[in-house]
Amino acid sequence: MADKLPEQKQDLVVIGNGMAGMRTVEDLLKIRADDFNITVFGAEPYGNYNRIMLSPLLAGEKQLDEIMINSREWYDDNGITLYSGDPVEAIDRKRRIVYARSGAEVPYDRLLLATGSNPFVIPVPGNDLDGVITFRDVDDVNGMLDASKSQRKAVVIGGGLLGLEAANGLMKQGMEVTVVHLMDALMERQLDAPAAKMLQASLEERGLTFRMEAKTEAILGRKRVEGVRFAGGDQLKADLVVMAVGIKPNIELAQSAGLHCERGVIVNDTMQTYDPRVYAVGECVQHRNATYGLVAPLWEQAKVCATHLAQVGSGRYEGSVTSTKLKVTGIDLFSAGDFVGDENTEDVVFQDPRRGVYKRIVLRDNKVAGAVLYGDTGDGGWYFQLMKEGTDVSEFRDRLVFGRAYAEGGDPANDAGVADLPDDAQICDCNGVCKGDIVAAIGEHDLKSVAAVGKQTKAGTSCGACQDAVAQLVEATLGEGLEAAPDKITVCECTDLSHDEVRAAIVHRHLTTTAAVREALDWREPDGCHKCRPALNYYCVASWPDEAEHEDASRFINERAHANIQKDGTYSVVPRMFGGVTNPRELRAIADVAEKYDIPTVKVTGGQRIDMLGAKKQDLPAIWRDLREQGGLVSGHAYAKALRTVKTCVGKEWCRFGVQDSTTLGVELEHLTWGSFMPHKFKMAVSGCPRNCAEASIKDFGIVCLESGYELQVGGNGGTRLRGADVLCRVKTPEEAREYCLAFIQLYREEGHYFERTAPYIERVGLDHVKACVVDDAENRKALAERFNHSQQFAQTDPWEARSAQGVNREHYIPLKEVS
């Protein structure tokens, strides 16, 4: 078959209508809805449902329609052809056609295998009798529910996650359940011995019976199952036997098509099989020698695979670190990573048998390698995060086992025990929202995410410092009702895409206006909203500096008016004073303007500038004109997501301690960087000696002068959440300091999410990443600085001059009409 022209639609065939396959299709539709004809084959006669919720379905806590992810209409609405109940039987990779049982033949340009896994059936006599079932799909659950109505005794073979959930469900349906397990401890792949004992005791209390270290030898019965026989000859009566001993990747089809398989279908980091036209995701896959049976890795795989199918992808799947929670109502259990340890690990253990609490944290080189929590799992997410990020815990190791609240200390908003606070404890200090308000809103409005709580109550929507606490309240209030899927942060409610996905599309698809982005990425609201429009405007301008133009209608009023709006609708005016240095002429111009235009308040700012507050909007162009003509002053961009100020001390020019000329360096940096548009405001400082009087350690980019050169610091913040800057490196000359500064700013401009300061940006990508891009790779540093300088050509025009001398946007500052 000949390849298609780029503008022709590609045929994508998906084999498998399960969670991994459909998540990939959903992710693909969000990036490129129009470029594919999509055909889906599913062996089961349903739409696409949430397999994780089979346990609650069995336990009677959910109904089938509640666990459906996509209805038939969804397939129709998205132009997807669905063959359900029609498994694919063969793939001809040469001719690129799949053949289904129904006789359907469908050609493909790209093929996605998502065939999932099959339950493992132990090879014993009688395993095919009536009443012997597995626990894998809706039919299995229906079979168990039917049996529970007429039968009494159930035996579940397998004491792992799946087996225990099946046993719990059957018990809830009124059956007498015995769990048979080959090992001497339950869930041995997730739990250590003490936690497994506590779990077993708790399940026994609820009414389950266990038969440990028992090897099933035969299933007894003539036509229908009547019992189970174990090695040694013991027998147990049974009306229903559920096999829940494990799963194996379903690779038959892939193997018969000649694709390389071992335990699973072998894929690389872009989810491609050995045939580059064929991708595979989910439980059928073997990646870097690992196979997965949990949901989080599937989401990660689907996301990577979708971007590569859409040809906008640079993302790679590098394997997943997984954690487990048991979905048995009322039992709190968490497990992640290496919880057994070896000769190179140390255990930190906390045990309180009376409260039924057990915690074991396994440390390797002072980093969390694994954790098992029983009874109190509130800090599971935190330990998991420490583990994934490889955080060195030596500083709070003595408090680690008591949880985040004690380990990090102090701040009640970070308190893992936020659930224990009284209802009138204020959680959001900006909007005055108390714990009781949030909990009530979660219940009344069925809220499931921090974003939803924010929308309803305003908690966490201003400075954002309390969002962790809100997240904990959501988790504590919903408990088991919380969906297992990770809470993806989208740009806003107009789209399901993340900031990174949107920016990748803008770059790869050459989108230069916010309207083009919304159109290309299927925005739900044609105009977008006040959250996404400024973000899209930023990404377009930052990605295409010589083509994209700022859209006034998509900028916050301060950036449209070039002044800061105040609570009474007046504005403040802050002229630029490079490096905080001024002179009599500038000061005289400011004094004259303040008198002439009745400026009520004149104040010195924290960034070493002078702020004139209370200016009327219609006076702004005249104020700017006077400042320029009389004082030579230009805009200080105090209103913009841009370089704000470079704060300096007087340095060795005057100070008896100064070791370098910090003032000159600060003035130079400000001349290089003013006017540059960034994800958020950006502050710099240069201190002339390690006494650090310019407070460089709480700036986005700070320089502390040393006798031998300059220490460069990044990601400091003195605002919402105090964060001392990280040391990037030390350099010898001011030329180097300038180049590193420009390179860091450009990296932040290219990778920072809109509205994300450098502090959270660095915490998200990691200091090592920043060092790798800016310090270790000299060529990349130069390239970054060059891209910054290129964009500055278009950014460094004084907006005040344009508006006061050239009449730009004159109508912004005057009423349409005055009626007296």
Partner 1 sequence: MAAVMTDAEWIEIGRLEDIPRLGARTVGMPDGDIAVFRTSADEVFALKDACPHRGGPLSQGIVHGRKVTCPLHNWCIGLADGAACEPDEGHTTRYAVENRDGALFLCPVPKE
Does 457 participate in binding partner 1 (rule CB under 8 A)?
yes
Of the CA atoms within 13 Å of residue 16, those in its CB half-sphere come to 28
Q: Which is nearer to partner 1, 21 or 460 (CB)?
A: 460
Q: Which is nearer to partner 1, 302 or 459 (CB)?
A: 459
| Minimum distance from residue 456 beta carbon to partner 1 (Å) | 5
Cβ distance 636 to 628 under 8 Å? no
Residue 555 to residues 529, 532, 536, 562, 572, Cα–Cα distance (Å):
11, 10, 10, 11, 18
Q: How far apart are CA 720 and CA 413, in angstroms?
A: 12
R_g (Cα) of the chain, nearest Å: 31
| Minimum distance from residue 533 beta carbon to partner 1 (Å) | 6
Residues numbered 548-577 forming contacts with partner 1, rule: CB under 8 A: 552-554, 556-558, 560-561, 565, 567, 569
Strand spans (E) along 574-672: 601-604, 610-615, 643-648
DSSP state letter for 378:
T
642 contact partners, CB below 8 Å, separation of at least 6: 674, 675, 676, 677, 678, 681, 682
Q: How far apart are CA 436 and CA 419, in angstroms?
A: 10
Q: Which is nearer to partner 1, 621 or 702 (CB)?
A: 621
| Minimum distance from residue 536 beta carbon to partner 1 (Å) | 12
Q: How far apart are CA 767 and CA 709, in angstroms?
A: 22
Q: Which is nearer to partner 1, 28 or 459 (CB)?
A: 459
Q: Which is nearer to partner 1, 483 or 527 (CB)?
A: 527
- Candidate residues 197, 364, 388, 455; the one interacting with partner 1 per rule CB under 8 A: 455
- Part in contact with partner 1 (CB under 8 A); list of ranges 164-172, 432-440, 453-461, 498-506: 453-461
Nearest Cα to Cα of residue 25 among 87, 101, 85, 112: 112
Q: Which is nearer to partner 1, 397 or 455 (CB)?
A: 455
What is the pattern of x (binds partner 1, CB under 8 A) and - over residues 18-57? ----------------------------------------
What is the pattern of x (binds partner 1, CB under 8 A) and - over residues 787-816? ------------------------x---xx
Of the CA atoms within 13 Å of residue 701, those in its CB half-sphere come to 25
Residues numbered 461-500 forming contacts with partner 1, rule: CB under 8 A: 461
Q: Which is nearer to partner 1, 563 or 684 (CB)?
A: 563
Q: Which is nearer to partner 1, 355 or 567 (CB)?
A: 567
Q: Which is nearer to partner 1, 355 or 530 (CB)?
A: 530
| Minimum distance from residue 511 beta carbon to partner 1 (Å) | 18
> What are the helix (H) ranges across 479-564?
499-508, 514-520, 532-543, 557-561
How many Cβ atoms from other residues are within 10 Å of residue 320's Cβ? 17
| Minimum distance from residue 187 beta carbon to partner 1 (Å) | 43
Size (the chain), residues? 820
In this structure, what token pair is assigned to residue 568?
Answer: 């009474």
CA angle 214, 215, 218 (to 5 degrees): 125
Of the CA atoms within 13 Å of residue 169, those in its CB half-sphere come to 29
DSSP state letter for 775:
I
Residues numbered 582-621 forming contacts with partner 1, rule: CB under 8 A: none
Q: How far apart are CA 344 and CA 365, in angstroms?
A: 8
Q: How far apart are CA 712 and CA 474, in angstroms?
A: 40
| Minimum distance from residue 503 beta carbon to partner 1 (Å) | 21
Nearest Cα to Cα of residue 386 among 345, 340, 337: 337
In this structure, what token pair is assigned to residue 570?
Answer: 């007046």
Cβ distance 281 to 307 under 8 Å? no
State which amino acid sits at residue 53: M
| Minimum distance from residue 513 beta carbon to partner 1 (Å) | 12
Q: What is the maximum span of the chain, computed from C-alpha positions, in angstroms?
A: 105
Strand spans (E) along 265-327: 265-267, 278-280, 285-287, 323-325
| Minimum distance from residue 438 beta carbon to partner 1 (Å) | 13
Q: Which is nearer to partner 1, 17 or 461 (CB)?
A: 461
Nearest Cα to Cα of residue 244 among 125, 159, 348, 360: 159
| Minimum distance from residue 818 beta carbon to partner 1 (Å) | 4
Q: Which is nearer to partner 1, 96 or 641 (CB)?
A: 641
Q: Which is nearer to partner 1, 39 or 495 (CB)?
A: 495
Using CB under 8 A, count the residues that bind partner 1. 30
How many Cβ atoms from other residues are within 10 Å of residue 266's Cβ? 20
Residue 666 CB-density burial (10 A; 0-12 exposed, 13-18 middle, 19+ buried): buried
Q: Which is nearer to partner 1, 193 or 814 (CB)?
A: 814
| Minimum distance from residue 568 beta carbon to partner 1 (Å) | 8
> What are the helix (H) ranges across 207-315?
252-256, 295-309
Residues numbered 168-187 forming contacts with partner 1, rule: CB under 8 A: none
- Candidate residues 149, 354, 656, 817; the one interacting with partner 1 per rule CB under 8 A: 817
Of the CA atoms within 13 Å of residue 510, those in its CB half-sphere come to 2
Residue 560 CB-density burial (10 A; 0-12 exposed, 13-18 middle, 19+ buried): middle
| Minimum distance from residue 433 beta carbon to partner 1 (Å) | 12
Q: Which is nearer to partner 1, 308 or 803 (CB)?
A: 803
| Minimum distance from residue 427 beta carbon to partner 1 (Å) | 17
- Part in contact with partner 1 (CB under 8 A); list of ranges 246-254, 313-321, 454-462, 644-652: 454-462
Q: Which is nearer to partner 1, 503 or 533 (CB)?
A: 533
| Minimum distance from residue 640 beta carbon to partner 1 (Å) | 15
| Minimum distance from residue 574 beta carbon to partner 1 (Å) | 18
- Part in contact with partner 1 (CB under 8 A); list of ranges 11-19, 463-471, 546-554, 797-805: 546-554
| Minimum distance from residue 583 beta carbon to partner 1 (Å) | 34
| Minimum distance from residue 457 beta carbon to partner 1 (Å) | 8
Q: Which is nearer to partner 1, 233 or 815 (CB)?
A: 815
Residues numbered 635-694 forming contacts with partner 1, rule: CB under 8 A: none
Phi-psi region of 608 (alpha: psi -120 to 50; beta: other; left: phi over 0): left
Cβ distance 454 to 437 under 8 Å? no
In this structure, what token pair is assigned to residue 89?
Answer: 């039987």
Residues numbered 495-534 forming contacts with partner 1, rule: CB under 8 A: 525-530, 533-534
Q: Which is nearer to partner 1, 17 or 537 (CB)?
A: 537
Q: Which is nearer to partner 1, 28 or 492 (CB)?
A: 492
3-state secondary structure of 571: strand
| Minimum distance from residue 535 beta carbon to partner 1 (Å) | 12
Residue 4 CB-density burial (10 A; 0-12 exposed, 13-18 middle, 19+ buried): exposed
DSSP state letter for 5:
P
> What are the helix (H) ranges across 32-99?
54-58, 64-67, 72-77
Of the CA atoms within 13 Å of residue 539, those in its CB half-sphere come to 31
| Minimum distance from residue 815 beta carbon to partner 1 (Å) | 5
Residues engaged in binding partner 1 (CB under 8 A): 455-457, 461, 525-530, 533-534, 552-554, 556-558, 560-561, 565, 567, 569, 811, 815-820
